[in-house]
Protein backbone atom coordinates (compact mmCIF):
# COMPACT_ATOMS: atom_id res chain seq x y z
CA UNK A 1 0.00 0.00 0.00
CA UNK A 2 1.33 3.43 -0.97
CA UNK A 3 -0.18 6.62 0.38
CA UNK A 4 -0.12 9.16 -2.45
CA UNK A 5 -2.07 11.84 -0.58
CA UNK A 6 -3.08 12.16 3.06
CA UNK A 7 -5.65 14.32 4.80
CA UNK A 8 -3.94 17.35 6.29
CA UNK A 9 -6.24 18.01 9.24
CA UNK A 10 -8.94 16.47 11.40
CA UNK A 11 -12.42 17.28 10.18
CA UNK A 12 -14.14 17.43 13.55
CA UNK A 13 -12.95 18.11 17.07
CA UNK A 14 -14.83 18.91 20.26
CA UNK A 15 -13.56 21.72 22.41
CA UNK A 16 -14.43 23.15 25.81
CA UNK A 17 -15.79 26.41 24.39
CA UNK A 18 -18.26 24.54 22.15
CA UNK A 19 -19.39 22.34 25.03
CA UNK A 20 -20.05 25.29 27.33
CA UNK A 21 -21.72 27.41 24.64
CA UNK A 22 -24.17 24.62 23.86
CA UNK A 23 -24.73 23.93 27.55
CA UNK A 24 -25.70 27.58 28.10
CA UNK A 25 -28.10 27.54 25.13
CA UNK A 26 -29.81 24.37 26.35
CA UNK A 27 -30.15 25.77 29.88
CA UNK A 28 -31.65 29.01 28.53
CA UNK A 29 -34.26 27.13 26.49
CA UNK A 30 -35.09 24.89 29.45
CA UNK A 31 -35.56 27.95 31.67
CA UNK A 32 -37.18 30.44 29.30
CA UNK A 33 -38.80 28.29 26.62
CA UNK A 34 -40.37 30.21 23.73
CA UNK A 35 -38.83 33.50 24.88
CA UNK A 36 -35.34 32.02 24.42
CA UNK A 37 -36.21 30.63 20.97
CA UNK A 38 -37.52 34.02 19.81
CA UNK A 39 -34.39 35.74 21.13
CA UNK A 40 -32.12 33.24 19.36
CA UNK A 41 -34.12 33.70 16.13
CA UNK A 42 -33.34 37.42 16.30
CA UNK A 43 -29.69 36.85 17.27
CA UNK A 44 -28.72 34.10 14.84
CA UNK A 45 -31.31 34.28 12.03
CA UNK A 46 -32.12 38.01 12.15
CA UNK A 47 -35.84 37.22 12.42
CA UNK A 48 -38.38 39.29 14.32
CA UNK A 49 -41.09 36.74 15.13
CA UNK A 50 -43.77 36.02 17.73
CA UNK A 51 -43.69 32.24 17.34
CA UNK A 52 -41.47 29.59 15.76
CA UNK A 53 -44.51 27.54 14.67
CA UNK A 54 -45.10 27.51 10.91
CA UNK A 55 -48.77 28.01 10.03
CA UNK A 56 -50.74 26.19 7.31
CA UNK A 57 -50.93 29.52 5.45
CA UNK A 58 -47.13 29.73 5.35
CA UNK A 59 -46.93 26.19 3.99
CA UNK A 60 -49.50 27.01 1.30
CA UNK A 61 -47.56 30.15 0.36
CA UNK A 62 -44.37 28.08 0.00
CA UNK A 63 -45.94 26.06 -2.84
CA UNK A 64 -46.53 29.29 -4.74
CA UNK A 65 -42.82 30.13 -4.48
CA UNK A 66 -41.61 26.79 -5.88
CA UNK A 67 -41.83 25.78 -9.53
CA UNK A 68 -43.82 22.72 -10.55
CA UNK A 69 -40.74 20.75 -11.65
CA UNK A 70 -39.23 21.10 -8.17
CA UNK A 71 -42.49 19.99 -6.56
CA UNK A 72 -42.67 16.92 -8.81
CA UNK A 73 -39.00 16.12 -8.10
CA UNK A 74 -39.70 16.23 -4.37
CA UNK A 75 -42.76 14.00 -4.81
CA UNK A 76 -40.73 11.50 -6.85
CA UNK A 77 -38.02 11.34 -4.18
CA UNK A 78 -40.62 11.02 -1.41
CA UNK A 79 -42.16 8.08 -3.25
CA UNK A 80 -38.81 6.34 -3.60
CA UNK A 81 -37.91 6.85 0.06
CA UNK A 82 -41.38 5.78 1.22
CA UNK A 83 -41.31 2.62 -0.91
CA UNK A 84 -38.00 1.48 0.57
CA UNK A 85 -38.95 2.43 4.13
CA UNK A 86 -42.26 0.56 3.91
CA UNK A 87 -40.48 -2.54 2.62
CA UNK A 88 -38.08 -2.30 5.57
CA UNK A 89 -41.05 -1.99 7.92
CA UNK A 90 -42.51 -5.20 6.51
CA UNK A 91 -39.36 -7.02 7.66
CA UNK A 92 -39.97 -6.04 11.29
CA UNK A 93 -42.41 -8.48 12.86
CA UNK A 94 -43.96 -8.95 16.26
CA UNK A 95 -42.96 -12.22 17.93
CA UNK A 96 -44.96 -14.42 20.32
CA UNK A 97 -43.84 -18.03 20.76
CA UNK A 98 -44.12 -20.85 23.31
CA UNK A 99 -41.03 -21.11 25.47
CA UNK A 100 -39.09 -24.35 25.86
CA UNK A 101 -40.73 -24.41 29.29
CA UNK A 102 -44.39 -25.45 29.43
CA UNK A 103 -46.73 -22.71 30.59
CA UNK A 104 -44.59 -19.79 29.37
CA UNK A 105 -45.00 -17.64 26.27
CA UNK A 106 -42.31 -15.14 25.27
CA UNK A 107 -41.95 -12.52 22.57
CA UNK A 108 -41.66 -8.91 21.57
CA UNK A 109 -43.66 -6.16 19.87
CA UNK A 110 -42.63 -3.52 17.35
CA UNK A 111 -43.89 -0.21 18.77
CA UNK A 112 -43.08 3.15 17.16
CA UNK A 113 -42.16 6.06 19.41
CA UNK A 114 -45.11 8.39 19.96
CA UNK A 115 -43.43 11.60 18.88
CA UNK A 116 -40.20 12.51 17.10
CA UNK A 117 -38.40 15.62 15.95
CA UNK A 118 -36.70 15.73 12.54
CA UNK A 119 -33.95 18.33 12.22
CA UNK A 120 -33.31 19.69 8.72
CA UNK A 121 -30.09 21.72 8.29
CA UNK A 122 -29.99 24.98 6.36
CA UNK A 123 -26.58 25.13 4.71
CA UNK A 124 -25.27 27.08 1.76
CA UNK A 125 -28.17 25.65 -0.25
CA UNK A 126 -31.64 24.39 0.75
CA UNK A 127 -31.82 20.72 1.72
CA UNK A 128 -35.32 19.38 0.96
CA UNK A 129 -33.86 15.88 0.62
CA UNK A 130 -32.97 15.86 4.32
CA UNK A 131 -36.57 16.75 5.18
CA UNK A 132 -37.81 13.77 3.19
CA UNK A 133 -35.30 11.31 4.65
CA UNK A 134 -36.36 11.95 8.24
CA UNK A 135 -40.08 12.65 7.99
CA UNK A 136 -41.05 10.06 5.37
CA UNK A 137 -39.16 7.32 7.21
CA UNK A 138 -40.71 8.25 10.57
CA UNK A 139 -44.18 8.15 9.04
CA UNK A 140 -43.50 4.77 7.41
CA UNK A 141 -42.43 3.48 10.82
CA UNK A 142 -45.80 4.48 12.25
CA UNK A 143 -44.83 7.51 14.36
CA UNK A 144 -48.07 9.37 15.09
CA UNK A 145 -46.65 12.84 15.73
CA UNK A 146 -43.76 13.84 13.47
CA UNK A 147 -42.36 17.32 14.07
CA UNK A 148 -39.88 19.02 11.75
CA UNK A 149 -37.70 22.07 12.12
CA UNK A 150 -35.18 24.01 10.10
CA UNK A 151 -33.46 27.37 10.58
CA UNK A 152 -34.54 30.44 8.64
CA UNK A 153 -32.94 30.63 5.22
CA UNK A 154 -31.17 33.81 4.17
CA UNK A 155 -33.37 36.06 2.07
CA UNK A 156 -36.67 34.43 3.05
CA UNK A 157 -37.07 35.27 6.73
CA UNK A 158 -38.36 31.74 7.33
CA UNK A 159 -37.69 28.18 6.19
CA UNK A 160 -36.75 27.93 2.50
CA UNK A 161 -39.96 27.29 0.51
CA UNK A 162 -38.57 24.14 -1.16
CA UNK A 163 -37.82 22.70 2.28
CA UNK A 164 -41.28 23.68 3.55
CA UNK A 165 -42.88 21.98 0.54
CA UNK A 166 -40.79 18.85 1.19
CA UNK A 167 -41.82 18.83 4.86
CA UNK A 168 -45.47 19.02 3.83
CA UNK A 169 -45.22 16.36 1.11
CA UNK A 170 -43.38 14.11 3.56
CA UNK A 171 -46.26 14.40 6.03
CA UNK A 172 -44.93 16.51 8.91
CA UNK A 173 -47.57 17.11 11.57
CA UNK A 174 -45.88 20.19 13.03
CA UNK A 175 -43.24 22.49 11.51
CA UNK A 176 -41.05 24.96 13.37
CA UNK A 177 -38.66 27.62 12.10
CA UNK A 178 -35.75 27.11 14.48
CA UNK A 179 -32.27 25.68 14.31
CA UNK A 180 -29.03 25.06 16.12
CA UNK A 181 -28.62 23.84 19.67
CA UNK A 182 -31.74 25.75 20.71
CA UNK A 183 -33.90 23.66 18.38
CA UNK A 184 -32.50 20.45 19.82
CA UNK A 185 -33.17 21.75 23.34
CA UNK A 186 -36.75 22.72 22.43
CA UNK A 187 -37.45 19.24 21.04
CA UNK A 188 -35.76 17.55 24.00
CA UNK A 189 -37.40 19.49 26.83
CA UNK A 190 -40.37 21.27 25.30
CA UNK A 191 -41.43 24.90 25.59
CA UNK A 192 -44.73 26.68 26.15
CA UNK A 193 -45.71 25.99 22.53
CA UNK A 194 -43.66 22.89 21.68
CA UNK A 195 -44.39 19.54 23.26
CA UNK A 196 -41.23 17.53 23.95
CA UNK A 197 -40.42 14.61 21.67
CA UNK A 198 -39.18 11.08 22.39
CA UNK A 199 -36.53 10.97 19.65
CA UNK A 200 -34.51 13.50 17.63
CA UNK A 201 -33.07 12.60 14.22
CA UNK A 202 -31.28 14.43 11.44
CA UNK A 203 -27.84 15.85 10.67
CA UNK A 204 -26.58 19.29 11.62
CA UNK A 205 -23.51 21.40 12.31
CA UNK A 206 -21.20 21.01 15.29
CA UNK A 207 -23.59 22.92 17.57
CA UNK A 208 -26.46 20.59 16.69
CA UNK A 209 -24.26 17.52 17.14
CA UNK A 210 -22.99 18.70 20.51
CA UNK A 211 -26.53 19.52 21.63
CA UNK A 212 -27.69 16.02 20.67
CA UNK A 213 -24.81 14.62 22.69
CA UNK A 214 -25.83 16.65 25.74
CA UNK A 215 -29.55 15.82 25.64
CA UNK A 216 -28.99 12.10 25.00
CA UNK A 217 -30.59 10.21 27.86
CA UNK A 218 -33.35 12.75 28.35
CA UNK A 219 -34.39 12.00 24.78
CA UNK A 220 -33.28 9.49 22.16
CA UNK A 221 -31.13 10.46 19.16
CA UNK A 222 -30.19 8.76 15.92
CA UNK A 223 -26.43 9.35 15.97
CA UNK A 224 -23.68 11.91 16.43
CA UNK A 225 -22.72 12.82 12.89
CA UNK A 226 -19.48 14.32 11.66
CA UNK A 227 -18.61 15.75 8.23
CA UNK A 228 -19.71 13.72 5.21
CA UNK A 229 -17.39 11.09 3.67
CA UNK A 230 -16.94 8.97 0.57
CA UNK A 231 -14.46 6.20 -0.12
CA UNK A 232 -14.17 4.88 -3.68
CA UNK A 233 -12.60 1.48 -4.35
CA UNK A 234 -11.47 1.30 -7.97
CA UNK A 235 -9.30 -0.66 -10.38
CA UNK A 236 -8.14 -0.36 -14.00
CA UNK A 237 -11.71 -0.76 -15.28
CA UNK A 238 -12.90 2.44 -13.61
CA UNK A 239 -13.54 5.55 -15.69
CA UNK A 240 -11.19 8.30 -14.38
CA UNK A 241 -13.71 11.00 -15.25
CA UNK A 242 -16.37 9.24 -13.14
CA UNK A 243 -13.91 8.87 -10.27
CA UNK A 244 -12.90 12.53 -10.46
CA UNK A 245 -16.43 13.91 -10.49
CA UNK A 246 -17.53 11.59 -7.67
CA UNK A 247 -14.64 12.79 -5.49
CA UNK A 248 -15.55 16.38 -6.29
CA UNK A 249 -19.22 15.72 -5.59
CA UNK A 250 -18.24 14.74 -2.07
CA UNK A 251 -15.83 17.63 -1.66
CA UNK A 252 -18.41 20.25 -2.62
CA UNK A 253 -20.62 19.42 0.38
CA UNK A 254 -18.47 21.28 2.84
CA UNK A 255 -14.83 22.32 3.42
CA UNK A 256 -14.67 19.57 6.05
CA UNK A 257 -15.97 16.80 3.76
CA UNK A 258 -13.67 13.84 3.23
CA UNK A 259 -13.11 12.16 -0.16
CA UNK A 260 -10.87 9.07 -0.41
CA UNK A 261 -9.75 7.10 -3.46
CA UNK A 262 -8.37 3.58 -3.02
CA UNK A 263 -7.21 2.19 -6.36
CA UNK A 264 -5.13 -0.75 -7.52
CA UNK A 265 -3.92 0.95 -10.72
CA UNK A 266 -1.49 3.90 -10.74
CA UNK A 267 -2.35 4.95 -14.29
CA UNK A 268 -6.02 5.24 -13.36
CA UNK A 269 -5.11 7.40 -10.36
CA UNK A 270 -2.93 9.71 -12.47
CA UNK A 271 -5.62 10.12 -15.10
CA UNK A 272 -8.24 10.76 -12.40
CA UNK A 273 -6.18 13.64 -11.02
CA UNK A 274 -5.90 15.13 -14.51
CA UNK A 275 -9.66 14.89 -14.95
CA UNK A 276 -10.19 16.46 -11.52
CA UNK A 277 -8.00 19.45 -12.45
CA UNK A 278 -10.20 20.06 -15.48
CA UNK A 279 -13.60 19.35 -13.94
CA UNK A 280 -13.11 21.44 -10.82
CA UNK A 281 -12.86 24.62 -12.90
CA UNK A 282 -16.35 23.97 -14.32
CA UNK A 283 -18.03 24.05 -10.89
CA UNK A 284 -19.40 27.09 -9.09
CA UNK A 285 -18.44 25.22 -5.91
CA UNK A 286 -14.77 25.24 -6.96
CA UNK A 287 -13.50 27.08 -3.89
CA UNK A 288 -15.18 24.66 -1.48
CA UNK A 289 -14.00 21.66 -3.50
CA UNK A 290 -10.40 22.85 -3.52
CA UNK A 291 -10.35 23.51 0.20
CA UNK A 292 -12.01 20.20 1.04
CA UNK A 293 -9.73 18.18 -1.24
CA UNK A 294 -6.58 19.96 -0.03
CA UNK A 295 -7.40 19.53 3.66
CA UNK A 296 -9.16 16.17 3.72
CA UNK A 297 -8.65 14.31 0.45
CA UNK A 298 -6.67 11.07 0.40
CA UNK A 299 -5.36 8.68 -2.26
CA UNK A 300 -4.12 5.14 -1.66
CA UNK A 301 -2.46 2.90 -4.23
CA UNK A 302 -3.31 -0.64 -3.14
CA UNK A 303 -1.11 -3.59 -4.06
CA UNK A 304 -4.14 -5.83 -4.54
CA UNK A 305 -7.93 -5.69 -4.49
CA UNK A 306 -7.92 -7.56 -1.18
CA UNK A 307 -5.74 -4.85 0.33
CA UNK A 308 -8.17 -2.22 -0.96
CA UNK A 309 -11.10 -4.11 0.55
CA UNK A 310 -9.33 -4.45 3.90
CA UNK A 311 -8.59 -0.72 4.01
CA UNK A 312 -12.20 0.16 3.16
CA UNK A 313 -13.44 -2.08 5.97
CA UNK A 314 -10.94 -0.49 8.36
CA UNK A 315 -11.98 3.07 7.51
CA UNK A 316 -15.72 2.22 7.56
CA UNK A 317 -16.84 5.21 5.46
CA UNK A 318 -20.23 6.85 5.36
CA UNK A 319 -20.54 6.30 1.59
CA UNK A 320 -18.69 3.50 -0.18
CA UNK A 321 -18.49 3.27 -3.99
CA UNK A 322 -17.29 0.16 -5.83
CA UNK A 323 -16.04 0.87 -9.38
CA UNK A 324 -14.20 -2.34 -10.23
CA UNK A 325 -14.31 -5.46 -12.32
CA UNK A 326 -16.53 -8.10 -10.64
CA UNK A 327 -18.06 -5.33 -8.53
CA UNK A 328 -20.66 -7.58 -6.89
CA UNK A 329 -17.98 -9.96 -5.65
CA UNK A 330 -16.00 -7.03 -4.25
CA UNK A 331 -19.14 -5.57 -2.67
CA UNK A 332 -19.90 -8.87 -0.96
CA UNK A 333 -16.64 -8.59 0.99
CA UNK A 334 -17.44 -5.10 2.31
CA UNK A 335 -18.67 -5.16 5.90
CA UNK A 336 -18.41 -1.66 7.33
CA UNK A 337 -20.11 1.27 5.57
CA UNK A 338 -23.15 3.49 5.87
CA UNK A 339 -24.45 3.08 2.32
CA UNK A 340 -22.97 1.10 -0.57
CA UNK A 341 -22.98 2.15 -4.24
CA UNK A 342 -22.06 -0.69 -6.57
CA UNK A 343 -21.12 -0.32 -10.22
CA UNK A 344 -19.64 2.24 -12.57
CA UNK A 345 -23.04 3.92 -12.91
CA UNK A 346 -23.86 4.23 -9.21
CA UNK A 347 -22.70 7.63 -7.91
CA UNK A 348 -23.47 8.68 -4.33
CA UNK A 349 -25.72 11.44 -5.71
CA UNK A 350 -28.46 8.85 -6.30
CA UNK A 351 -28.45 7.94 -2.61
CA UNK A 352 -28.32 11.58 -1.55
CA UNK A 353 -31.61 12.28 -3.27
CA UNK A 354 -33.77 9.67 -4.95
CA UNK A 355 -32.72 5.99 -4.94
CA UNK A 356 -34.62 5.26 -1.72
CA UNK A 357 -32.25 4.20 1.09
CA UNK A 358 -31.75 6.89 3.71
CA UNK A 359 -28.92 9.41 3.39
CA UNK A 360 -28.58 10.12 7.12
CA UNK A 361 -25.64 7.80 7.74
CA UNK A 362 -22.89 6.97 10.26
CA UNK A 363 -19.62 8.91 9.91
CA UNK A 364 -16.18 9.00 11.55
CA UNK A 365 -15.80 5.20 11.48
CA UNK A 366 -18.98 4.56 13.45
CA UNK A 367 -20.25 2.37 10.60
CA UNK A 368 -18.21 -0.38 12.27
CA UNK A 369 -21.01 -0.74 14.81
CA UNK A 370 -23.96 1.37 13.67
CA UNK A 371 -26.19 2.07 10.69
CA UNK A 372 -28.03 4.98 9.14
CA UNK A 373 -31.54 6.19 9.88
CA UNK A 374 -34.19 3.65 8.89
CA UNK A 375 -37.67 2.68 10.05
CA UNK A 376 -36.10 0.73 12.91
CA UNK A 377 -34.65 3.99 14.25
CA UNK A 378 -38.18 5.04 15.18
CA UNK A 379 -39.30 1.67 16.57
CA UNK A 380 -38.61 0.19 19.98
CA UNK A 381 -38.86 -3.53 20.64
CA UNK A 382 -40.13 -4.22 24.17
CA UNK A 383 -40.29 -7.83 25.34
CA UNK A 384 -43.04 -9.77 27.11
CA UNK A 385 -43.69 -13.03 28.87
CA UNK A 386 -47.00 -14.68 29.75
CA UNK A 387 -46.69 -17.18 32.59
CA UNK A 388 -49.45 -19.46 33.91
CA UNK A 389 -49.38 -21.64 37.06
CA UNK A 390 -47.55 -24.49 35.34
CA UNK A 391 -44.99 -22.08 33.94
CA UNK A 392 -44.49 -20.60 37.40
CA UNK A 393 -43.76 -24.05 38.83
CA UNK A 394 -41.35 -24.86 35.99
CA UNK A 395 -39.36 -21.63 36.38
CA UNK A 396 -39.49 -21.44 40.18
CA UNK A 397 -36.46 -23.41 41.36
CA UNK A 398 -33.79 -21.96 39.03
CA UNK A 399 -35.15 -18.47 39.65
CA UNK A 400 -34.97 -18.87 43.44
CA UNK A 401 -31.47 -20.28 43.11
CA UNK A 402 -30.36 -17.21 41.14
CA UNK A 403 -31.98 -14.92 43.70
CA UNK A 404 -30.02 -16.61 46.49
CA UNK A 405 -26.76 -16.40 44.53
CA UNK A 406 -27.25 -12.67 43.90
CA UNK A 407 -28.46 -11.84 47.41
CA UNK A 408 -31.99 -10.78 46.50
CA UNK A 409 -34.41 -12.35 49.04
CA UNK A 410 -37.48 -10.42 47.85
CA UNK A 411 -36.90 -11.75 44.34
CA UNK A 412 -36.76 -15.27 45.79
CA UNK A 413 -39.89 -14.79 47.86
CA UNK A 414 -41.87 -13.27 44.98
CA UNK A 415 -41.60 -16.74 43.46
CA UNK A 416 -41.76 -18.78 46.68
CA UNK A 417 -45.03 -17.22 47.84
CA UNK A 418 -46.72 -18.02 44.53
CA UNK A 419 -45.53 -21.64 44.62
CA UNK A 420 -46.78 -22.04 48.17
CA UNK A 421 -50.17 -20.56 47.19
CA UNK A 422 -50.57 -23.34 44.62
CA UNK A 423 -50.07 -26.12 47.14
Catalytic residue IDs: 318-319
Q: 17: exposed, middle or buried (C-beta count within 10 Å: 0-12, 13-18, 19+)?
A: exposed
**Concatenated DSSP letters for 297-333?**
-EEEE-SSHHHHHHHHHHH--SEEEEESTTHHHHHHT
Would you list which residues are annotated within the binding site for NAD(+)? 119, 182, 205
Would you list which residues are annotated within the binding site for substrate? 228, 250, 253, 319, 352, 406, 411
Instruction: Give the bridge partners for 379, in sequence order.
Output: 112
- Give the span between the Cα atoms of 294 and 247, in whole angstroms: 12
Using DSSP, state whether 211 is helix, strand or coil.
helix
Instruction: Give the bridge partners for 261, in sequence order.
Output: 232, 299
Would you list which residues are annotated within the binding site? 119, 182, 205, 228, 250, 253, 319, 352, 406, 411
Q: How far apart are the first and last CA of the chain?
A: 74
Q: What contacts 301, CB < 8 A, 6 or more positions away?
A: 1, 2, 3, 4, 263, 264, 266, 269
Residue 384 parent element (H or E): strand 383-387
Using DSSP, state whether 173 is helix, strand or coil.
coil
Of 113, 337, 372, the residue nearest 222 (C-alpha):
372
Amino acid sequence: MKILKQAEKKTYQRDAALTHTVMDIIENVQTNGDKALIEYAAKFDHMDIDTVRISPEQVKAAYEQVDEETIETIRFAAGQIRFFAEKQRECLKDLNIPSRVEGVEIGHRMIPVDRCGCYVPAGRHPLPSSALMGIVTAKAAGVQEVCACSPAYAGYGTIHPAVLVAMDIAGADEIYCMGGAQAVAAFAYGTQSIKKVDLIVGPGNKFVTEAKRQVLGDVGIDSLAGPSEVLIVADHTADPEFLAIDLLAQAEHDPNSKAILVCTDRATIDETMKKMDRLITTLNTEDVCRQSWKDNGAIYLADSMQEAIDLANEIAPEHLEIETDNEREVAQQMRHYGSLFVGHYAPVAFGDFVSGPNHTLPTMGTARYSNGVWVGTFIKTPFHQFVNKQGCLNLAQPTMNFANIEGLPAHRDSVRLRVERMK
